[in-house]
Amino acid sequence: MSYDLVIVANRLPVDRVVLPDGSKGWRTSPGGLVTAIEPVMRANHGVWIGWPGGTDQDLQPFEHDGLELFPMTMSADEIEGFYEGFSNGTLWPLYHDLIAKPEFHREWWDSYVAVNQRFAETAASLAAEGATVWVHDYQLQLVPQMLRDLRPDLRIGFYLHIPFPPGELFQQLPWRRQVLEGLLGADLVGFQMPGGAQNFVRLVRQRVGHKTHRDLVYLPDGRTVRARAFPISIDAGGFEELARSEPVAQRSAEIREALGNPRKIFLGIDRLDYTKGIYARLRAFSELIKDGHFDVEDAVFVQVAVPSREQVEQYRILRDEIDRLVGRINGDLGRIGRPAISYLHSSYPREEMAALYRTADVMVVTPYRDGMNLVAKEYVACRFNDDGALVLSEFAGAADELRQAWLVNPYDINGMKSALLEAYQAEDKETRRRMKAMRRTVTQHDVAAWADSFMTELSDVGTHGKAVRPAHRS
Ligand code: F6P
């Protein structure tokens, strides 16, 4: 079987679930990427290659909801070296401002090369003559060039979902040149922010020695590579529809009731990751109570921390720190039936997230560094009455578009306290003015527009392969 469009991502867009009859099945993952890419895949006879999680070794290609999926197996050693090691112990902290210290281990790198090679070989074996291949994210940066070596006839796009760091940080990487050369196998390299694209082009000029002009890199073999920003977004219409639905309205009322009907509900929803600034935001909130600005009867902070990368040491340390902090804050400030922080270490389906967004008066998104941050956009999409306040870190990509949020520097605890308090006290007229403007941005630039703009640009720049047909959307 060969395909005109091949999506290559570390993860498949489905999760393994146990069905009511006890058998195992699949459920589409809640992320927006699949929503965006699905129509393009359908319009172009596409397949998605990725890891389904775990070490299940006997998975065959399968169809789910009309999407063709090709599962990549991963051995326990590869999970340790490629996924937990090089992807999340080296690249993740290196690309996020060294918030944690990246570790450089040669065995991890070897595993990264081997797994990237396997993904590239699989993509090469599934792509039709002249097909388009779209490779995603930091786990697979070597795939574009590996794939080009195997299949020079293909049109190749790459998109980085996380920030691309400045040269001063990137150059710590012992394999910096190989990563840059890996990415240069693509015809189009997409980034979240213009700054990331500029960092990349500058590094290519300085470290690899290629000629560049603005967003173009000229390779000695005559190929050109374009590097530019395509800020990702969410399925804004889908979220709004869900938030307006009757079951979500009911659930939202239940949540407010269960929290004891406080005047204001603050909300944080994050993967439990050290880049997200969860610790600092909870401290800021608790100090506002201690300082007497409001009481646990007036306000509660609901923090959802989605378990993530639990085998990686820095994530375990973070979990312990947050557990201790929440325990201390609630022990010091809570009353019977009235914790200051309602802390949930769990992941929830989209419906529950929409209900939480609908309930929250103040959404708090304070990462130290974030490629985009889709939670901020999801909150805005769900506020169909134009109410609700967003407190947003300047260091999230989303801050470039959501200028009307209460913008904060998450390193500045006093600044965060002031912003939280302002958002808590803001007049309805003020929150509405801000939310209205942000909603305009999010509804206009949704994830479908993002996927279309990347695909259209890839059709224009690629000198190899056939152009991909844009999806026909209703
Ligand atoms: O956006 C960064 C990212 O690593 C995605 O690739 C991934 O879907 C998400 O975060 C969750 O991370 P993980 O796949 O490591 O659970």
Contact (Cβ atoms closer than 8 angstroms) between residue 396 and residue 364: no
Distance 411 CA to ligand 1 centre (A): 24
| Residue 466 belongs to a domain | no
Q: Domain count of the chain?
A: 2
First to last CA, the chain: 29
Q: Give me the count of residues in the chain.
A: 474
Same domain, 275 and 340: yes
CA neighbours within 13 Å on the CB side: how many for 454?
A: 34
| Residue 187 belongs to a domain | yes
* Strand 406-408, strand 389-393: pairing: parallel
pLDDT at 420 over 50: yes
Distance 31 CA to ligand 1 centre (A): 10
Give CA–CA dist 313/310, Å, rounded.
Answer: 8
Distance 471 CA to ligand 1 centre (A): 25
Going by pLDDT thresholds of 50, 70 and 90, the confidence category of residue 462 is: low
Ligand 1 mutation target, pool 11, 51, 91, 314, most atoms within 8 A of CB: 11
- Residues in contact with ligand 1 by the CB-under-6-Å rule are 10-11, 137, 161-162, 308-309
Ligand 1 mutation target, pool 161, 311, 377, most atoms within 8 A of CB: 161
Q: What is the pLDDT of residue 36?
A: 77
Give CA–CA dist 145/386, Å, rounded.
Answer: 46
* Global pTM exceeds 0.75: yes
Q: What is the pLDDT of residue 136?
A: 97
| Residue 473 belongs to a domain | no
Q: Which domain holds residue 48?
A: 3-232+448-461
Distance 306 CA to ligand 1 centre (A): 12
| Residue 259 belongs to a domain | yes
Q: Which distant-in-sequence residues (6+ apart) come within 8 Å of 248 by Cβ?
A: 242, 351, 354, 355, 358
Same domain, 208 and 294: no
| Residue 468 belongs to a domain | no
Nearest ligand 1 atom to the CA of 161 is 1
| Torsion 432-350-51-119 (CA) sign | negative
- Tell me what the mean pLDDT of segment 344-366 comes to: 96
- Tell me what the mean pLDDT of segment 339-351 comes to: 95
Same domain, 252 and 217: no
Place of tokens 């930091």: 138
Domain of residue 403, CATH code: 3.40.50.2000
Ligand 1 mutation target, pool 137, 271, 373, most atoms within 8 A of CB: 137
Q: How far is CA 301 from CA 315, 388, 398, in A?
A: 22, 15, 22
Which residue CA neighbors atom 6 of ligand 1 most closely?
Answer: 137
Q: What is the pLDDT of residue 379?
A: 98
Which residue CA neighbors atom 12 of ligand 1 most closely?
Answer: 308
Structure tokens at 401: 């578009």
- Tell me what the mean pLDDT of segment 28-56 comes to: 85
Same domain, 298 and 364: yes
pLDDT, tens only, 141-150? 999 999 999 9
Element at 318 (helix H, strand E): helix 313-333
Type of residue found at 48? W
Q: What is the pLDDT of residue 465?
A: 61
pLDDT at 464 over 70: no
Going by pLDDT thresholds of 50, 70 and 90, the confidence category of residue 35 is: confident
| Residue 368 belongs to a domain | yes
* Strand 211-213, strand 188-191: pairing: unpaired
Distance 35 CA to ligand 1 centre (A): 16
Same domain, 219 and 309: no
Nearest ligand 1 atom to the CA of 88 is 15
pLDDT, tens only, 101-132? 999 999 999 999 999 999 999 999 999 999 99
- Tell me what the mean pLDDT of segment 444-463 comes to: 90
Same domain, 414 and 428: yes
| Residue 240 belongs to a domain | yes
Q: What is the pLDDT of residue 474?
A: 40
Same domain, 453 and 439: no
Same domain, 316 and 417: yes
pLDDT, tens only, 51-89? 999 997 778 999 998 899 999 999 999 999 999 999 999
What percent of the chain clears pLDDT 70, i.e. is strictly above it? 97
pLDDT, tens only, 159-192? 999 999 999 999 999 999 999 999 999 999 999 9
Contact (Cβ atoms closer than 8 angstroms) between residue 220 and residue 191: no
Ligand 1 mutation target, pool 308, 315, 369, 450, most atoms within 8 A of CB: 308
* Mean pLDDT taken over the chain: 95
Same domain, 56 and 134: yes
426 vs 28, which has greater pLDDT? 426
Same domain, 103 and 191: yes
Nearest ligand 1 atom to the CA of 136 is 6
Same domain, 160 and 308: no
Nearest ligand 1 atom to the CA of 31 is 8
Same domain, 282 and 160: no
Ligand 1 mutation target, pool 29, 48, 162, 373, most atoms within 8 A of CB: 162
Give CA–CA dist 158/100, Å, rounded.
Answer: 26
| Residue 432 belongs to a domain | yes
Which residue CA neighbors atom 14 of ligand 1 most closely?
Answer: 11
